[in-house]
């Protein structure tokens, strides 16, 4: 799927925000897809596909900063903004994610 | 599927889904040379790893290497390790099944299967032939033995194996004959002559490089080659090879005899098309393909040197890489309509030490062709251009290739030519604008190997790359054959408008904070920064955090603050977050501490019980004399540690890891000291100590070195009379280095003190990820000796105290986090549901 392709999405409640402690990532299965949800220390939420396109690394175990997510296996990096890789790998899918009354809502 | 996130598959297995059939198409590539491997890269880049199960056959046992670099290897200018493009690991990492050393013998296009020499039969949905060429050996009496092999001493020049064999032969041979005065022959002649052999070059045509050069340029090249001391024989064939067990000479058609003990045949190449012929595909000079590289069988394609497209065969790498791109576009569906329309080949080479660039035609062909020649035989310079209808249709540059950038440009894209044609070949210093880098249009291709344009390079510069190295890393320009490096440099200089930098980050401790280590340590103490986030908000530009800097900062802060460090889970790499080593399938490995490699029956029993209880797929003895439990799920870690009741062996960290020991004086009949006890004492004292990179130690009971102490970060050797030698900076990994003798001391206590002092000095002064084998030579052994043994800087007491602070702060992370996870998420599974690369179960 290309990054710009139009697709209709549905909002899913996947759990409570408390399930993703600040600074960590966690994998959920949402609408048939596997989604890694991250809460950064600044409180911002991000969601991406769960498996690294390079060799399937568990992205939820990756390292994060305000711009990028780095896969734990071979350190390819991906931008939160659009999923593009800053280190030459294929892009990842990113999903809108927000908090509603303590619930974690992901659009897939 | 509950198997992954929650439950466990029955039986001992790693966590992947076996009951989900692999629905990917089967893509088989025959030929693991420059075209085949590049094609696989292009497919993977387009996400093809999810679409296809990829199998690559290569009848060379090697990974993929840069064939065009064989000439520098033969010349001894490059090492063979430097020409590897894709190692076996690369294929494994990318899920590609490489069958190296396996020749494909037959294709059954009806059943869509390839039959290989190892008896295997592999089905395909798409088959790509990238079989390249072989050296043509012209018929000569005596060139082959009765068995059909080349007579010993006779070599083609095509593969690394042939190159190695020739290199080995240079040691025992004195006279070489090279047959063929084309590019390869000239390079071989030059290389052999460089090894001190007397070389005769025999060429059947009237001038050298006749395919690319005109007679006059050929004559100038001949003079340059002869001035190197190579004897050139033109216009004559070799008809017979002399010698029964080994080559002794060749006989030329005119009856002359040239003695030699080494014969290189570089008389051209022929496409490897026999496989295609046997399989019923259409073959003329090469395997015939259409504009989508498809043969007459709709599921079989051919790329690279074996392919014949619109009647043309190409013997260069750039067209092969264009083929790879187009075919990857087509097969992955990235651009199903992509087409290849042929390549215009421009070549820039250094032939026998002479710069040569040729493109298009070398002489005028029509009456109204313009032909401009500058010939300076004395200087070895010959330049010419052919212009037709105001367009450049050919150029030859010999001995001076300064104008190659613009000419390639004009040739490839038809860029307008200057009124005064002479400006095409020389710079006139009359103030008028020169054609050069500035005039090249942005889309002109600079690096043919990697398809990088001037625009890409300028983009990298405006995107922040401020030195040539960064631009090359970002764009891959100049990372193929390297012949465009000087042009890349010129463009970078032009684009940066003289504003080039030394890479400033080279001296920083971590990339996200612009400070070298001593300055950073001072600032951390001065501002009392005890957590990674505090360091970022105070010291990083705009207070931004940086993922790649976090691990290094965490390590540094732990060293500086000991107990008073404020941990943050997101400041750690996953290994440190869960105190276990992440494996390629997303599971972890658990290595309990086993001091000095010594264990007990009770410990072994416990490990065995735990391995069974948690269905550990593999139990392995490590190189560090411990037991590794591999394939453990993250969520099982705390319970396993609790059941083991042993401390962490730190097999995952940038930290002190293990001390290997030999049996020493307790049992060994050669033992001069109690190496086992000293190893245990060292490991007890320094367990869990953070460092810039992992630290491995060893102690041996005598110089027989059974536990390899000479190649450890710190190695200790008993030498008798109660004395011990302490070596530092050794390595036996990707780099091999014998450690340097720091001192000989006379008690185990002195060893422990000195080892700790060295490790603390290293911890405080090494760059992040700098191993001791780089650190020791960088600082210099004499300096280290002066500081640690003579206290030349008056810091020894501080070093000892700093190490003691860290030792006092040690707690076993397993004991702690097994009892109470550091955060609620610490051991939650992150394994996605897709099958990860399989780790074999034994
Ligand atoms: C010494 C030397 C210097 C060169 N210098 C330059 C240069 O400066 N510039 C330039 O552009 N080009 C240069 N070339 C040419 C360049 O190397 C080739 O154009 C390029 O390698 C072609 O790529 P390929 O993949 O088509 O063939 P290759 O790289 O030859 O790969 C083909 C592979 O297929 C394997 N194979 C064949 N048949 C089978 C089978 N049935 N089953 C399994 N495997 C099989 C072969 O063993 C081989 O490994 C040079 C070549 C040599 C030998
Ligand atoms: S290094 Fe020496 S003491 Fe140790 S086991 Fe080997 S021979 Fe024996
Ligand atoms: S353990 Fe070391 S040597 Fe072995 S595969 Fe991993 S990185 Fe390579
Ligand atoms: S699997 Fe993510 S970088 Fe390799």
Best mutation target among A35, A36, A60 (most B Cβ atoms within 10 Å) is: A60
Adjacent-strand bridge partners of B655: B690
Q: Measure B568 CA to nearest chain A CA, in Å.
A: 8
A67 neighbourhood in chain B, CB within 8 Å? 544
Q: Check pLDDT > 80 for residue B96.
A: yes
User: Looking at chain B, how many residues does it have?
Assistant: 842
CB-hemisphere CA count at 13 Å for B90? 15
Which of B266-280, B418-432, B447-461 is the most confident on average?
Answer: B266-280
Distance CA B580, CA B566 (A): 21
Q: What is the pLDDT of residue B736?
A: 85
Does the CB atom of residue B702 touch ligand 2 within 6 A? yes
pLDDT in tens, B157-210: 999 999 999 999 998 999 999 999 998 999 999 999 989 999 999 999 999 998
> What integer is the mean pLDDT of B295-310?
96
Minimum-distance CB partner of A26 among B571, B585, B825: B825
**Does the beta carbon of B60 sit less than 6 angstroms from any atom of ligand 1?**
yes
pLDDT score for B360: 85
Q: What is the pLDDT of residue B57?
A: 97
pLDDT (average), residues B83-91 = 89
Q: What is the pLDDT of residue B9?
A: 33
Confidence of residue B434 (pLDDT cuts 50, 70, 90): very low
pLDDT over 70 (residue B467): yes
Contact in structure between B727 and B712 (CB atoms under 8 Å): yes
Distance B542 CA to ligand 2 centre (A): 57
State how far the Cα of B56 lies from the Cα of B114, in Å rounded to an integer.
11
Average pLDDT of span B405-410: 80
Which pLDDT score, from 0 to 100, does residue A4 have?
Answer: 45
pTM: 0.52
Average pLDDT, chain B: 88
Please give the average per-residue pLDDT across A7-25, as a whole number: 85
* Structural tokens at position B341: 């329309």
The answer to whether residue B799 scores a pLDDT higher than 60 is yes
Let me know the angle formed at the C-alpha of B50 by B49 and B52, rounded to the nearest 5 degrees.
65
3-state secondary structure of B226: helix
CA distance linking residue B713 with residue B695, whole number of Å: 6
Residue nearest to atom 51 of ligand 1 (CA): B68
Three-state SS at A61: helix
Radius of gyration of the CA atoms of chain B, in A: 32
- DSSP letter, residue B76: T
Ligand minimally distant from the alpha carbon of residue A62: 4
**Identity of the residue in A53, A58, A70 whose CB atom sits nearest the CB atom of B547:** A70
The pLDDT of residue B422 = 85
For residues B377-406, average pLDDT: 87
Binned at pLDDT 50, 70 and 90, residue B329 comes out as: very high
Say whether A19 and B825 touch across the interface (CB within 8 A): yes
Cross-chain Cβ contact B830/A90 below 8 Å: no
Q: How many CB atoms lie within 10 A of CB B559?
A: 22
Angle between helices B748-765 and B796-808 (to 10 degrees): 90
Ligand 3 centroid to B778 CA: how many Å?
26
- pLDDT at residue B469, rounded to an integer: 77
Q: Is B700 in the pocket of ligand 2 (CB under 6 A)?
A: yes
CA dist., res. B57 & res. B530, Å (int): 54
Q: What is the pLDDT of residues B601-641, one digit of tens each?
A: 999 999 999 999 999 999 999 999 999 999 999 999 999 99
Find out whether B586 and B560 touch, Cβ atoms under 8 Å.
Answer: no
Instruction: Check the CA dihedral B701-B707-B710-B714 and report its sign.
Output: negative
* Closest among B495, B492, B499 to B471, alpha carbons compared: B492
Report which protein residue has its CA nearest ligand 1's atom 37: B131
A88's tokens: 């030459």
Summarize pLDDT for B18-62 with one digit per residue, the tens: 456 778 899 999 999 999 999 999 999 999 999 999 999 999 999
CB contact at 8 A, B839 and B631: yes
Q: Exposed (0-12), middle (13-18) or buried (19+): which is B743, by Cβ within 10 Å?
A: middle
- Phi and psi (nearest 5°) for B275? -60, -45
What are the backbone angles phi and psi of residue B57, rounded to the nearest 5°?
-100, 135
At residue B352, the pLDDT reads 66
| SS3 (DSSP) at B89 | helix
- CA B371 to ligand 4 centroid distance, Å: 55
Mean pLDDT to the nearest integer, B648-664? 95
Chain A positions in Cβ-Cβ contact with residue B824 (cut-off 8 Å): 18-19, 21
The separation between the first and the last C-alpha atoms of chain B, rounded to the nearest angstrom, is 25
Token pair for B572: 């750690």
Say which residues have a Cβ less than 8 Å from residue B567's Cβ, sequence separation at least 6: B531, B554, B822
Instruction: Answer whether B30 contacts ligand 1 (Cβ < 6 A).
Output: yes
Alpha carbon of B473: minimum distance to chain A alpha carbons (Å): 10
Report ipTM (2 d.p.): 0.89
Q: Which residues of B621-639 are buried (b: 16+ CB within 10 A; e: fewer)?
A: ebebbbbbbbbbbbbbbbe
Residue B322 makes CB contacts below 8 A (sequence gap 6+) with B340, B343, B451
Distance between CA atoms of residues B791 and B433, nearest Å: 63
B92 C-alpha to ligand 4 centroid (Å)? 12
């Amino acid at each position: 799927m290309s990054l710009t392709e139009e697709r209709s999405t549905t909002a899913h409640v996947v759990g409570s925000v408390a399930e993703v402690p600040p600074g960590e990532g966690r994998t959920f299965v949402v609408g048939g897809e596997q989604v890694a949800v991250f809460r950064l220390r600044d409180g911002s939420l991000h969601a991406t596909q769960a498996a690294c396109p390079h060799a399937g690394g568990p992205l939820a175990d990756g390292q994060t900063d305000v711009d990028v997510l780095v896969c734990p296996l071979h350190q390819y990096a991906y931008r939160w903004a659009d999923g593009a890789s800053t280190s030459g790998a294929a892009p990842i899918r990113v999903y809108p994610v927000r908090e509603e009354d303590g619930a974690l809502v992901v659009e897939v | 599927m509950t198997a992954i996130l929650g439950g466990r598959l029955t039986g001992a297995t790693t966590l992947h889904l076996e009951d989900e059939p692999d629905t990917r198409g089967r893509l088989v590539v025959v030929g693991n040379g420059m075209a085949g491997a590049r094609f696989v890269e292009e497919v993977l880049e387009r996400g093809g790893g999810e679409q296809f199960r990829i199998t690559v056959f290569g009848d060379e046992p090697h990974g993929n290497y840069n064939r065009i670099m064989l000439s520098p290897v033969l010349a001894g200018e490059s090492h063979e390790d430097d020409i590897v493009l894709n190692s076996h690991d690369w294929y494994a990492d990318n899920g590609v099944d490489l069958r190296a050393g396996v020749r494909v013998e037959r294709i059954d296009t009806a059943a869509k299967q390839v039959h290989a020499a190892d008896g295997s039969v592999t089905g395909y949905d798409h088959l790509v032939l990238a079989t390249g060429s072989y050296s043509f050996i012209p018929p000569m009496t005596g060139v082959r033995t009765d068995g059909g092999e080349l007579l010993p001493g006779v070599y083609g020049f095509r593969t690394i194996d042939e190159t190695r064999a020739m290199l080995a032969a240079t040691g025992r041979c004195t006279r070489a004959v090279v047959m063929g005065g084309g590019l390869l022959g000239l390079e071989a002649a030059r290389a052999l002559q460089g090894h001190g052999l007397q070389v005769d070059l025999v060429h059947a045509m009237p001038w050298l490089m006749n395919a690319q050069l005109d007679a006059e340029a050929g004559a100038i090249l001949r003079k340059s080659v002869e001035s190197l001391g190579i004897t050139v024989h033109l216009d004559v064939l070799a008809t017979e090879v002399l010698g029964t067990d080994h080559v002794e000479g060749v006989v030329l058609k005119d009856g002359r005899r040239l003695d030699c003990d080494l014969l290189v045949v570089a008389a051209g190449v022929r496409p490897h098309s026999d496989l295609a012929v046997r399989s019923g595909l259409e073959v003329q000079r090469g395997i015939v393909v259409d504009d989508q590289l498809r043969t007459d069988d709709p599921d079989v394609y051919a790329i690279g040197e074996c392919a014949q497209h619109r009647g043309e065969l190409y013997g260069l790498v750039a067209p092969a890489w264009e083929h790879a791109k187009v075919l990857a576009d087509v097969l992955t569906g990235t651009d199903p309509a992509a087409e290849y329309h042929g390549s215009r080949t421009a070549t820039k080479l250094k032939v026998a030490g002479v710069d040569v660039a040729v493109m298009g035609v070398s002489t005028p062909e029509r009456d109204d062709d313009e032909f401009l020649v500058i010939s300076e035989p004395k200087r070895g310079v010959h330049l010419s251009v052919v212009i037709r209808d105001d367009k450049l249709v050919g150029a030859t540059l010999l001995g001076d290739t300064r104008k190659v950038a613009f000419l390639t440009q004009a040739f490839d894209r038809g860029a307008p030519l200057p009124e005064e044609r002479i400006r095409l070949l020389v710079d006139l210093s009359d103030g008028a604008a020169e054609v050069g880098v500035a005039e090249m249009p942005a889309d002109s291709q600079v690096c043919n190997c990697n398809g990088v344009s001037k625009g890409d390079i300028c983009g990298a510069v405006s995107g922040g790359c401020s030195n040539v190295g960064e631009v090359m890393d970002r764009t891959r320009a100049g990372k193929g054959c390297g012949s465009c490096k000087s042009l890349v440099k010129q463009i970078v200089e032009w684009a940066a408008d003289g504003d080039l930098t030394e890479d400033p980050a080279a001296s920083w401790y971590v990339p996200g904070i612009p400070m070298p280590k001593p300055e950073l340590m001072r600032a951390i103490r001065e501002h009392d920064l005890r957590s990674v986030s505090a360091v970022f908000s105070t010291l990083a530009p705009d207070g931004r955090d940086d993922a790649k800097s976090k691990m290094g900062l965490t390590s540094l802060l732990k060293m500086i603050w000991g107990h008073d460090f404020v941990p943050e889970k997101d400041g750690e790499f996953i290994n440190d977050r869960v105190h276990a080593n992440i494996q390629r399938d997303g599971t972890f490995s658990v290595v309990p501490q086993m001091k000095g490699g010594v264990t007990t029956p009770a410990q072994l029993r416990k490990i065995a019980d735990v391995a069974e209880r948690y269905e550990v797929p593999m139990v392995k003895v490590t190189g560090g004399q411990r037991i590794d439990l591999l394939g453990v799920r993250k969520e099982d870690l705390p319970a396993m540690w609790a059941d083991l009741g042993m401390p962490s062996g730190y097999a995952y960290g940038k930290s002190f890891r293990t001390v290997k020991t030999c049996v020493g004086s307790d049992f060994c009949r050669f033992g001069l000291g109690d190496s086992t006890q000293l190893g245990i004492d060292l490991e007890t004292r320094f367990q869990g100590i953070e460092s810039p990179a992992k630290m491995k130690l060893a102690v041996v009971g005598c110089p027989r070195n059974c536990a390899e102490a000479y190649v450890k970060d710190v190695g200790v050797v008993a030498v008798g009379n109660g004395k011990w030698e302490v070596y530092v900076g050794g390595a036996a990994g990707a780099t091999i280095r014998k450690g340097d003798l720091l001192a000989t001391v006379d008690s185990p206590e002195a060893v422990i003190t000195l080892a700790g002092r060295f490790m603390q000095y290293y911890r405080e002064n090494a760059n992040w990820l700098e191993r001791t084998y780089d650190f020791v030579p960088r600082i210099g052994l004499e300096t280290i000796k002066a500081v640690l043994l003579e206290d030349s800087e008056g810091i020894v007491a501080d070093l000892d105290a700093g190490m003691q602070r860290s030792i006092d702060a040690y707690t076993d992370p397993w004991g702690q986090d097994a009892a109470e996870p550091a955060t609620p998420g610490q051991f939650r599974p992150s394994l996605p549901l897709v099958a990860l690369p399989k780790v074999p179960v034994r």
